Structure 1
Amino acid sequence: MITHLVLDGVLEGALGVGIDIIDTAEPALPQRVLSLDGGPVRSGAGRTVCVTAATPAGAAEFGPGDVLVLPGPSASSPELVERLLAHPDTTLAAELVRRAAASGATVAASCSATFVLAAAGVLDGAEATTTWWLAPELARRFPPVRVRADRMVVDGGAVLTAGAAFAHADLLLAILARLRGQDAARRVAGYLVLDARMSQSRYMALEHLRADDPVVRAVRRYVAAHLTRQLGLAELAAAASVSPRTLARRLHAVLGVTPTDFVHRLRVEHASALLTTTRNSVDAVAAAVGYADAAAFRRVYRRYTGETPSATRSRSPLR
């Protein structure tokens, strides 16, 4: 049995695509939608979301082979995450997650619901992902969790996590692959026209990640103005009027990245824009963002975006 646990603020699209993926499987797997009190909940868009049965989720039974999955509620900022974690429903949901996990069931969540799994303690010492712009917040609040913001889905065996809202589709495909096999998951993905996506990296926009921090803002401006040069830690720190050690700590605290990662991400971000807005060759783009070795650029680009420069270029209206 797959149980979709819906909390107030649930993202309708994530819940819907998850249900559709399981319904499309052949033979279809049994599934249900439950809420904590057995009643309907209000979605993030303010609409009523009905449940399968008036049974409170707390009364549900779980065992090996079952799956408890949480689509993310609408919590798009650290402030809203704070509100989510402080809500009594989150305490109840975390208790349910712990009980399901202890019974041998698989537990899974996407988007902001990964914070509920973290609050339940089932992610301690494990790798996990979440909405890419909330990854630093997850790392800050739950240090035992090894956050992988670049991953679309992290399969930890008994616990699975996925990234931003529509990574819920990738999460349910991973669950389907486990229950029915890879062929079944590929078949459903084909019917629903869902592409395999291993990484969130190419969707990550660094300017969204705490761009109000003065140190981050200063370093970002400096790197953007000197893209073609090789930049060392001391030079970057001087540009922000801080020590190298302070810069490294600040970038880790604010963005969850190292200075080297930050520079690479900015270069790759600029390269992606050039690939989709110009007809410059990949070698020329590499040189324009500071990579003298085009092969090295291709490796870095793939590491941070999950695709090749040519794949990005293929989506350009100028191709």
Structure 2
Amino acid sequence: MKTVWILVPDGVMDSSLAITLDVLRTAQAIAARTRGVGQFQFRVLGARAQVRTGCGLRLRTDATFRQAEREGATPQWVIVPALGEYGARLAAHLSQPDALQAQRLLRALAARKLRSLRIGASCASVFLLAEAGLLAQRSATTTWWLAADFRARYPDVILDERRMVVPDGPLVTAGSAFSQLDLMLAVLGDLVGVRIADLCARYLLIDRRPSQARYMIAAHAQQHDPVIGAAERWIDEHLTEPMTVRALAQAAAMSEKTFSRRVQAATGLSPIRLIQRRRLMMATHLIETTKTPIEQVAAQVGYRDSTTLRRLIRRDLDTSPSGLR
């Protein structure tokens, strides 16, 4: 029988843990009534026999991280629900005993290089995978508002915070806390098949969301790198005007080359893509909150016609302007 391990760090986000457990239980119930679908079991692992969630609830585990490592068993999936921490608290937690034990277990599993093993995490728990060294030179995502901190700490990870779920080899990462739903559908697709995953989505009313981009808050990135923040404000103030990288670099008092490196390091984008993202974020806001025709929205964010804006919405948000309303 296939086995899923759920690694529960101290302070796990209650909603993310509940999503994981409820989706797996629903899948078990559906699979039990479906011919030709193998059953699976799941185990909850923690640093101790009992762990405390972020909201203070106590959860009894099936085994500890150390016990699971000593047993030498190999699950088909290891899932790490979201941590409800950020900033200095998150950085400090990554070196706490429970996090270190989880990292050790993850490294031990990954070292076996078994084709059947998959590991998934969402939100701030993606930091845990990166801290364990599992994401080096791999593509990943995390919650969009922690992207700057993630890039600064793990520059060797290819991060794309616009995407909701990013698979890379045996690893699957997901965005903000409730993207645990999207992660679990990806897990079920591999574990029990797409049909059962789709049925779970229907029973639980889960909509598939390929992108985080439409949820990003335009002002948030300005809180991190002051140069990028100033550049983004300059872009926002000149949205309707023709814009070049040279003009943007001059506004930041840098050479184009230095400015491009700074933007890439802080955001993972080229200056041109940064300009496009700011225009797209403003356009998305206008489309979602007003009845302004798409042609007028395009003009308000600096595009001569709506064709380019429609293409960007399709590329980055995987939807259409009408889908945003």
TM-score between the two structures when normalised by the length of structure 2: 0.89
Per the alignment, in what secondary structure is the counterpart of residue 184 of structure 1? helix
Deviations 1:219-264 (A, max 9, x none): 2222122111221111112222232233222222333322112211
Residues 212 and 198 of structure 1: is their aligned pair in 2 closer, same or farther, counting only changes over 3 Å?
Answer: closer
- The alpha-carbon deviation at position 63 of structure 1 amounts to 4.8
| Residue aligning to 1:316 | none
Kindly report which structure 2 residues correspond to 1:148-187, keeping only aligned pairs within 5 A, or say none.
Answer: 148-187=160-199
After the TM superposition, which segments of 4 or more aligned residues of structure 1 sit over 3 Å from their partners? 61-65
Q: Distance in 2 between matches of 1:211 and 1:243?
A: 23
In structure 2, which of residues 57, 81, 93 is the aligned counterpart of residue 48 of structure 1?
57
Contact in 2 for aligned 1:201/1:306 (Cα 8 Å): no
Contact in 1 for aligned 2:283/2:298 (Cα 8 Å): yes
Contact in 1 for aligned 2:104/2:132 (Cα 8 Å): yes
TM-score between the two structures when normalised by the length of structure 1: 0.90
In the alignment, residue 38 of structure 1 is paired with which amino acid? Answer: A
| Residue aligning to 2:48 | 37
1:76 paired to 2:86: yes
Q: Distance in 2 between matches of 1:178 and 1:213?
A: 39
1:101 paired to 2:103: no
> Aligned pair count?
309
Q: Distance in 2 between matches of 1:211 and 1:120?
A: 28
Residues 63 and 123 of structure 1: is their aligned pair in 2 closer, same or farther, counting only changes over 3 Å?
Answer: farther
| Residue aligning to 2:98 | 89
1:66 paired to 2:76: yes
Residues 8 and 213 of structure 1: is their aligned pair in 2 closer, same or farther, counting only changes over 3 Å?
Answer: same
In the alignment, residue 247 of structure 1 is paired with which amino acid? Answer: F
**Greater shift after overlay, 145-154 or 211-220?**
211-220
- The alpha-carbon deviation at position 9 of structure 1 amounts to 1.3
Q: Distance in 1 between matches of 2:297 and 2:263?
A: 26
Q: Distance in 2 between matches of 1:144 and 1:255?
A: 14
* RMSD of aligned alpha carbons: 1.9
| Residue aligning to 1:310 | 322
| Residue aligning to 2:7 | 5
Q: Distance in 1 between matches of 2:74 and 2:95?
A: 30
1:127 paired to 2:139: yes
| Residue aligning to 2:284 | 272
**Fraction of identical pairs, as percent:** 38
- The alpha-carbon deviation at position 158 of structure 1 amounts to 1.4
- The alpha-carbon deviation at position 113 of structure 1 amounts to 1.0
Could you tell me which runs of 5 or more consecutive residues in structure 2 were left unpaired when the two chains were aligned.
33-39
Q: Distance in 2 between matches of 1:236 and 1:254?
A: 16
| Residue aligning to 2:255 | 243
Q: Distance in 1 between matches of 2:311 and 2:73?
A: 44
Q: Distance in 2 between matches of 1:228 and 1:62?
A: 61
Contact in 1 for aligned 2:5/2:75 (Cα 8 Å): no
Q: Distance in 1 between matches of 2:158 and 2:230?
A: 28
In the alignment, residue 89 of structure 1 is paired with which amino acid? Answer: D
